[in-house]
Structure formats: structure tokens, C-alpha cells
Structure 1
Amino acid sequence: MIVNILHFSFKDGTTEEEKAEALAAMRRTSTVESASYGTVGQDLRLPDDGFTHTYCVGVEDLDALERYMHDPVHIAGDFVIIPRLGRLSAHRLSDDLDPEMGSKVTALHERKVAKYPEWGQLLDSIPS
């Protein structure tokens, strides 16, 4: 299992309607065929870290991760979600103890950026 956890907050000035649209897009993404499970909701960590929400999705393996990353629902959702994010922190984990797992996941991400450069630019637009 590969788990992707995104802690995020919305940009200042994002309306409640825009937040709801972004969260709905995340919920749709978490239910695509390749996702084993997913959820999005309020971040329950310390409020002074600046994150208000968390998205978590699990996929079975690298093949499922690649399908998930390129799923049209996921790609379309990112163009609704990402422009509204003011802050983002990604964490990944896996129960597969392959020592190359991290580099394999990174390679999938790099291939997606190469295939969809506008997506990569959008992702790079999120303030760090």
C-alpha cells in the first residue's frame, strides 16, 4: 500500500463556495478506481502549524499509483484544487519495504510533470 497525505490550507480570500468546490473535487479524486480508500477533512494537528485540512488516499501498489495519478478525474480536479491552495505539505509512506520505493514514486511524479507540464507549473505555483 502507498499512502499519500496532503496537509493544506486555502489562500486568503478563498470563498466558502470555492473551498467547498475544491473539497468536493478531492472527494471525487479519492474515489477513482485505483484508490483503495481516501478521505478529506479538517486537520486536527496543532492549529499554529498553518494547515487547516488534510487529504489522505491509499493505493495498492505502483501500478495503481500510476493509474491514480493519470486518472482524468484526478487531473481535472487538480485544476480546481491547486489554484486555491495557499500552503501544501505532502507526506508519503508505504508498507512495501522495497528500498527503491521512494525513487520509483518520484519517477512516476516526474513522468507526470513531463506529460502534463501545465500541471507541473500549477503545482509549482503553490507557495512553499
Structure 2
Amino acid sequence: MIVHGNRFTFKPGTTPEALDEALESLRNQGRSIPSVRSFVVGRDFGGEYEWGATFVIDDLDGYWEYLIHPSHRHTDRVGLPLVDTFASFDITDDDDPEMEQKIAALHQRRYDADAELTQLVSDLGEYTGSAAPGRHGK
């Protein structure tokens, strides 16, 4: 099982309507992507981020389905332009010693196939973690 998470802070001046649209789009990912077993979208307490989302997925095939699903792509388009700082992480109970590299490779494959997404991510004020472009599991 893989728990994929995102922590983020919106840019100053983000309207309440735009914030609501981005958060609802994240929730829609959880409802609409078949490989998502459960999800949480809400306030992030105890750190430097304001909001967070986690998605529980069975395996790498499901993770790929999650990454390329149209509802995820929609969230990228409506949400990323509003985000200032962003961090991603993955937690897994899989003992595969190459799991970190495999997850990073899925993200890199997605960036390589989507120039618009790559630009949206490049425009973020700060982006760290397992899904950051060029990370390759390092």
C-alpha cells in the first residue's frame, strides 16, 4: 500500500472561491479515481503548510492511474497556479528496496509527457519531496 501526500500553502491574495475550487478538485480526485482507496483533504496542522491531502493507493499500477487520471490533471490546472509552497511525500509498507526510485520514476515519466504540467510546477515558489521534478528518488 502507498499513501501519497501533498502539503501546500496558497499564494497570498488567493480568493476564497479559487481556494474552494482547488480543494474541491482534490476531493474529487479521491472520489473519482478508481485506484484511490481512501483520501483526506483539509487543514494541515503542526508545520509550515496550511493545507494537505493524502490518497491511499494499493500499488504502483494504481499510483500511475492516479497520476494520469483526468481529475488529477484538472487539479493541477486549477490548483498549481494558486500554490506558493508545495511538498509531496509517500509512505509505503512495501519492502521493495527500489520503491523510492520507482515512485520518482512515475512522476518523472508524467513530467516528461506533459510540458504544461512541468511549467506549472516550475512556477511554484518552492517544491520539495517525492514528486519534485528531476528528483529521481534521491
* Shorter-normalised TM range: over 0.9
Residue deviations 1:30-77 (CA, integer Å, cap 9, x gap): 22111111111011214xx2x111111111000000011010111112
Aligned length: 125
Letter in 2 for 1:96: D
Alignment of 1:95-110 (within 5 A): 95-110=93-108
Taking structure 1 as the reference length, the TM-score comes to 0.93
* C-alpha RMSD of matched pairs (Å): 1.0
Q: Distance in 2 between matches of 1:127 and 1:11?
A: 9
Query: Which of 1 and 2 has higher RCO (CA within 8 Å, sep 6+)?
Result: 1
Measure how far apart 1:7 and its partner are. 1.0
Distance 2:4 2:117 in 1: 18
Q: Once the two structures are superposed, what CA deviation does each residue of 1:71-112 show, in whole Å capped at 9, x if it has no partner?
A: 011111210011111111111111101000010011111110
The alignment partner of 2:66 has SS state of helix
Instruction: Tell me which stretches of 4 or more aligned residues in structure 1 moved more than 6 Å.
Output: none
1:89 alignment partner, SS class: strand
CA distance in 2, matches of 1:123, 1:59: 23
Alignment of 1:19-98 (within 5 A): 19-31=19-31, 32-46=33-47, 49=48, 51-98=49-96
Identity of aligned residues (%): 33
Q: TM-score, normalised by structure 2?
A: 0.87
Residue 3 of structure 2 corresponds to: 3
SS of 2:86's partner is strand
Stretches of structure 2 lacking an aligned partner (at least 5 in a row): 127-138
Q: 2-side partners of 1:103 and 1:89: how far apart?
A: 17
Secondary structure of the residue that 1:30 maps to in structure 2?
Answer: helix
List alignment gaps of at least 5 residues for structure 1.
none
- Matched AA of 2:39: G
